[in-house]
Structure 1
Amino acid sequence: MRGKLAALAVSTAMLPAFAAGAAELNLICAADVVVCEKLVSAFEAEHSDISVNMVRLSSGETYAKIRAEARNPQTDLWWGGTGDPHLQAAADGLTAVYESPRMSELHDWALKQAEVSGNRTVGVYSGALGWGYNTKIFEEKGLKEPACWSDLLDPALKGEIQIADPNSSGTAYTALATLVQLMGEDEAFEYLKALHANISQYTKSGSAPVKAAARGEAGLGIVFMHDAVAQSVEGFPIKTIAPCEGTGFEVGSMSIIENAQNPDEAKIFYDWVLSAEVQNLMPEAGSFQLPSNKAAVASEHVPDMSQIKLIDYDFAEFGSAERRQALLARWDKEIGGRAAD
């Protein structure tokens, strides 16, 4: 028995230091997985004393997970994804108040996100909504380039379009809220019913539609324009379009979870990722959004927001729990039900 106890003592003593309580960070990343992995590897290289446990989920999935775990949070920090669900989480008290010492370095649109949420979230990047289409497929099938939202209703595009489900995807919810603000709610749902005839699939992920178009599995994907640009930069025949009637945009956001298990580590990551140096790494991972730090240098491939007709997107209204839940419920009833037929 003494021999076994001695052996156990020796083996315990030989355990690596991190097993005895090294710092951890439980991160949900709601951006493209390549971007997420780039952030984690860069952070761990600079902060070798903190081990990051990262899970990639879409914005809607993240909100649902955080809400379900409200009494016993398993997540410390939520980085990326559209701002609307971040604002809803803030309104629900699911995220914590935090003002980074880097706030003075950020663009006004990033600070507005913090102001609206009572400093429970902050903007980390921005990008406009549009679509990317496969020029090779359109040429082979003799399809006309769609320059406007109205053009997507062309019967010739039947089965050629993909868009995500707004319940799981922040991108698709932004599209839904954009159309409501452009047209009015009833008119927007009539438009979506007509568009449904041309939809081949409602995907889970917001960027999946244009990736399918890049692979030739669809003709066109309704996405954030930077996701379409990422495919063309990789060499796929994808052309990016900003709709002529006007379009919405996202403020990709970041939030610390209320009652997080590792709040100090979350704040370290939060401050770190707001720096210009870190945001300058994003194009290396194929991320072509507009960075929130004023000193960060945007990639030459980032769509020029000044050349896009942007609506005055109401983040406060469409990020509110009541408005978002009502729109999603109506989408499920009038559009999602059709998708299941």
Structure 2
Amino acid sequence: MNQDRHPLSEDDAITDAAAHWCMRLHADDCSAAERATFSQWLAADPRHAAEYQAMLEIWQTADLLPREHNVVALSPRRKARTRNWRPLASAAAIALMALPLAGWVGWEQNWLPSSYQHFQTGDQLQQVQLNDGSRVDLNLHSELRYFNFKDERRVTLIKGEAFFKVTHDSSHPFIVRAGNGQTRVTGTQFNVWKYDDQVKVTLVEGSVLVSSDGDSGGYRLGPGMQATYQMGDFEPHLAQSDDYDNALAWRSGKLVLDNLSLRQALPVINRYLEKPLLLADDSTARIRISGIYNTREVARLVDTLPKVLPVYLTRSKDGSTVLNRIVPPPSRG
């Protein structure tokens, strides 16, 4: 018998306590004495902080608690995490009865998921399997969350890039939220890239429906098509992809730049840098670049740019590298 395994009753007690504190700390009448007691409970066992963080995530997903409400600083979560929410649901349901009617109806309408997964990558590519059987390839420095609801499967791509092979289920759509829009499928293969508020969706197989927040109906993509959008776009921009293989080269650890302007290339390059590379002006932005690079060595690319492009490097006040175009001397006539 594994002596490190805690009894189920003890785990249930922690879950009940986490549900209680999640409700009380977000109540208007929560007192200073209660907050002090909560801090003591939180520090008593590492599992307390983990369970409270999990409870916050599931309630925030259901829009029952404000996301910006920062009650307490918690220790960082593990990079990959899988939970079964069925034991948690019973405790949460009891606590939800004390919330406004809208919260209780939300629970009854299955806005809370039955399972949850969180994945985050560092300097290595990673392939993960979701609870529905779908597989996801994650690029470097990427993060996503998966929630299995009664009526849909929902993924949030927080940052980075992911290639999805979605298990087909026509009655249980698969929705990927990224930036200011979403991609809806039932079973297919596609790539989603996100940098700041820019998003690009590339379809490999099947079909997807891409919409931005200002778009009510969405636009259907066929294989080889791409949709891009960013904050402020009323609808996504559609195009037949000429760099289909280039867009997926990251899965082999490659960054392919095929005659792109620096304005187009920098969002892709900056995905792999600690500090973003900046452009001095529009003239610099129009310079074009080509090449194939290792995604783990993009920082070296920056140092070599003056050797292959008519540019020189300077530093901004915050220490970021700035690309400046070398202006040719005037011709002598």
TM range (shorter): under 0.3
| TM-score w.r.t. length of structure 2 | 0.24
| Rg (Cα) greater in structure | 2
Q: Which has the higher contact order (CA 8 A, sep 6+)?
A: 1
TM-score after normalising by structure 1: 0.24
Which has the larger helix fraction?
Answer: 1
